[in-house]
Structure 1
Amino acid sequence: MELPVIDLAPYLEIAAEGDLPNPASGLPELCREVSRILKETGALLVKDPRCTADNDRFIDMMEKYFEKPADSSACRTSLLHYQVPSLVDEDMQEKLRAMPKENQPLTPKGPDPKWRYMWRVGPRPLKTRFQELNSEPVIPEGFPEWKETMDSWGYKMISAIELAVAEMAGIGFGLPTDAFTSLMKQGSHLLAPTGSDLRRNGQEGTVFAGYHYDLNFLTIHGRSRFPGLNIWLRNGQKIAVKVPIGCLLIQTGKQLTIDAINVASEQNRSLWRVSSTLFAHIASDAVLKPLGHFAESPLSISTCVQVSLSNKSLQ
């Protein structure tokens, strides 16, 4: 199975004209398709014309960063508890055990052997009860291009969510266009690249990020230079995802494959696998509750119904 690709260009063009939603444009149908895919599978590929060469520039810089010695001044960062954005609870463990053998995820041996850096994207609230979720980032030494590169790619990724997918999902679910984006204002959005050292941990079967789901609203990431991504759809089916050139993935996960390592070694390329993940959050102080007509649903007795688009993945 291949994930469908949604071209965001038609929506962006009409949104720029301020004519949303226009029934004659065909956009409501496209928006319903976005909401349907997210509801039924939990994963979506999008093509955003605003995201071009910045992905490669970002990965080039992050490869150089992760290749620095771990004890160098460039790699010193602050440890904040917002750096734990995923969860595997007991209910999920039971579902894993009940899965058919071919869909069961590999079991990591010990902690995930990956590195992660967090960079805040967008403005934060002046007053908040959750200051740790809105802290200033740390800029590594020796990277004068760091802030501009991180901000450029981060803002493009969050724009793909805020100014396209989240609005389209709202329309598709029969809600106001800003139903989700209004809750995302000044959210603790994090550009969170991960680095996996394939030279040191390139053995077949190595899992760099175990099965989990993310504790945020929507997750998006760009194309990595190494394959190995597996996700689980809402029906429990495991699929290997290939992100086409020029596309972004809504929902994320990582697992190693071997062939690409051999090719990269022969070409003397970096053997750090960089994932340009961005976690888009509802604002820290916002209250999660059913929205619009969903408040009348029997399911409204359950909390966080409106964030059912959150990622359920991943390995």
Structure 2
Amino acid sequence: MNLPVIDLSPYLAIAGDDSDHKLSPELTALCGDLSRSLRETGALLVKDPRCSVEDNDRFIDMMEKYFSSPHEFKVLQERPHLHYQVGVTPEKVEVPRSLIDEEMQEKLKAMPKEYQPHTPVGPDLKWRYFWRIGPRPSDTRFQELNAEPVIPDGFPEWKETMDSWGYKMISALKVVAEMAAIGFGLPKDAFTSLMKQGPHLLAPTGSDLQKYGQEGTILAGYHYDLNFLTIHGKSRFPGLYIWLRNGQKVEVKVPVGCLLIQTGKQIEWLTGGDCIAGMHEVVVTNKTIDAIRLAEEQKRSLWRVSSTLFAHIASDAVLKPLGQFAESPLSGKYPPIFAGEYVEQELAVINLKGKDENLHD
């Protein structure tokens, strides 16, 4: 099954026009297609002319160089006392939700065999770097979710490369959020107004395929994202699987020049469960091994870098079903909660919160 590819160019051409009622029937239909894909599959492929293949390549090149640095250098950028919400998270720290969530484990056992995810046996084998994108609130109840950035020594291009790619991807997501709101029958700024000053994170992961390149190895165990929407550029190594709303398991192929969007838990909250957080995993497959062999022949890096950005609802905004979704029979499952409070609860479950504060300064 191929996910639909939606070209954002027609909408970008009228973006900035503040009236809701001027959308052409074609654009209204496009917004409907986009929201339907998020609802039915939890995922979507988009083309944004502002996000080029060269931008993605420059970003991945730098992150391959960073992740291949020595372990003792990378841990200098680790900030466990800030719940790992800035800087690096080493491999074997983050625990996939499916390893500890008993309700989720029961659901997995009930799935048809061919759709079942791989069963995690421990924490994820991926490294991750968190870099904040966009302005932060000067006054917030959730300081550690809005901390100062960490820049590794020896990477003079770091800030410019991270900010450039991060701002381009968040710009694409804001257009998707606007179009989705229109498709869901909400005011077009229903989501984007809540995203202002959110703790958006450019969050590339790095998996060492020289070390973990055996078929069946789980790089990121079955999980959902706790944020609003997630966007990825194309990775150089396959291995990402997603689950559609009907339970079907799909290997994701991102065409060159496209970006992958996935739904997170915060959009589920805001739509009262009409749109649910998409489940996914990253596993070494026979196609990953083919890509490893090719990279070895071409003397390229064997680090699998995901070019990922997590867009969030602002920490001090309240998550609750919006508009007609507040009347949905499921809305009671989504009581009002500050987005920052929700994020902290989730971080505690996946082992990114609650470390000993005295371990690091």
- TM-score when normalising by structure 2: 0.81
Query: Which string of whole-angstrom CA distances, capped at 9 and with x for unpartnered residues, describes residues 169-227 of structure 1?
Result: 10001100000011111001000100000011111111100000011111111100111
Matched, 1:81 2:83: yes
2:224 aligns to what SS in structure 1? strand
Alignment of 1:211 with 2:213, yes or no, is: no
Show the counterpart of 1:277: 308
Q: Secondary structure at the match of 1:139?
A: coil
Residue 103 of structure 1 corresponds to which residue in structure 2?
115
Partner residue of 2:137 out of 125, 129, 132? 125
The 2-side partners of 1:86 and 1:288 are apart by 24
| Displacement after TM superposition at 1:228 (Å) | 1.1
Equivalent residue, structure 1, for 2:270 = none
Q: Say whether residues 1:26 and 2:26 are aligned partners.
A: yes
Greater alpha carbon shift after TM alignment, 64-73 vs 213-222 = 64-73
Partner Cα separation in structure 1 for residue 335 and residue 233 of structure 2? 27
Distance 2:49 2:75 in 1: 33
CA RMSD of aligned residues (A): 2.0
Give the unaligned 5+ runs of structure 2: 86-93, 263-279, 340-361
Tell me if 1:237 matches 2:248: yes
- Cα distance 1:123–1:87, how it changes in 2: closer, same or farther (>3 A)? farther
Contact in 1 for aligned 2:318/2:336 (Cα 8 Å) = no
* Partner residue in 2 for 1:114: 126
Summarize deviations over 1:249-304 as a string: whole Å, max 9, x none: 11264222211101110111100000011111101011111111222222222216
- Matched with 2:48 is 48
Q: Point out where structure 1 has 5 or more consecutive residues left out of the alignment.
A: 308-315
Deviation at 1:74, TM superposition (A): 7.9
> Aligned residue for 2:319?
288
Correspondence 1:297 to 2:298 = no
In structure 1, what residue type is equivalent to 2:137? P
- Measured in 2, the distance between the counterparts of 1:128 and 1:86 equals 29
Give 1:170's aligned amino acid: A
Find the counterpart in structure 2 of residue 59 from structure 1: 60
Q: Of residues 221, 226, 239 in structure 2, which corresponds to 1:228? A: 239
* Residue of structure 2 aligned with 1:246, choices 257, 276, 292: 257
Aligned mates of 2:104, 2:135 — CA distance in 1: 34
User: Residue in 2 aligned with 1:255?
Assistant: 283
1:95 Cα offset (Å) = 1.2
Structure 2 distance, partners of 1:116, 1:131, is 21
**What CA distance in whole angstroms lies between the structure 1 residues aligned with 2:97 and 2:135?**
26
Question: CA separation in 2, counterparts of 1:154 and 1:37?
Answer: 24
Question: What is the identity, as a one-letter code, of the residue corresponding to 1:92?
Answer: M
1:313 alignment partner in structure 2: none
CA contact (8 A) 1:87 1:215 kept: no
Aligned residue pairs: how many? 306
Question: Residue 278 of structure 1 aligns to a residue in which SS?
Answer: strand
- Residues 73 and 276 (structure 1), Cα distance of their counterparts in 2 relative to 1, 3 Å cut: closer
**1:171 paired residue among 182, 186, 195:** 182
- Amino acid in structure 1 at the alignment position of 2:289: I
Identify the residue that residue 35 of structure 2 maps to in structure 1: 35
CA contact (8 A) 1:47 1:247 kept: yes
1:53-94 deviation per Cα after TM superposition (whole angstroms, max 9, x unaligned): 110000000000011101026853322325469734332212
Query: How far apart are residue 27 of structure 1 and its match?
Result: 1.0
Q: Which residue of 2 aligns with 1:268?
A: 299
Distance in 2 separating the partners of 1:260 and 1:12: 35
Give me the whole-angstrom Cα distance separating, in 2, the residues matched to 1:161 and 1:35. 13
Question: Aligned partners of 1:91, 1:108: CA distance in 2, in Å?
Answer: 15
Structure 2 vs 1, CA of residues 105 and 289 (structure 1 numbering), >3 Å: closer, same or farther? same
Q: TM-score, normalised by structure 1?
A: 0.92
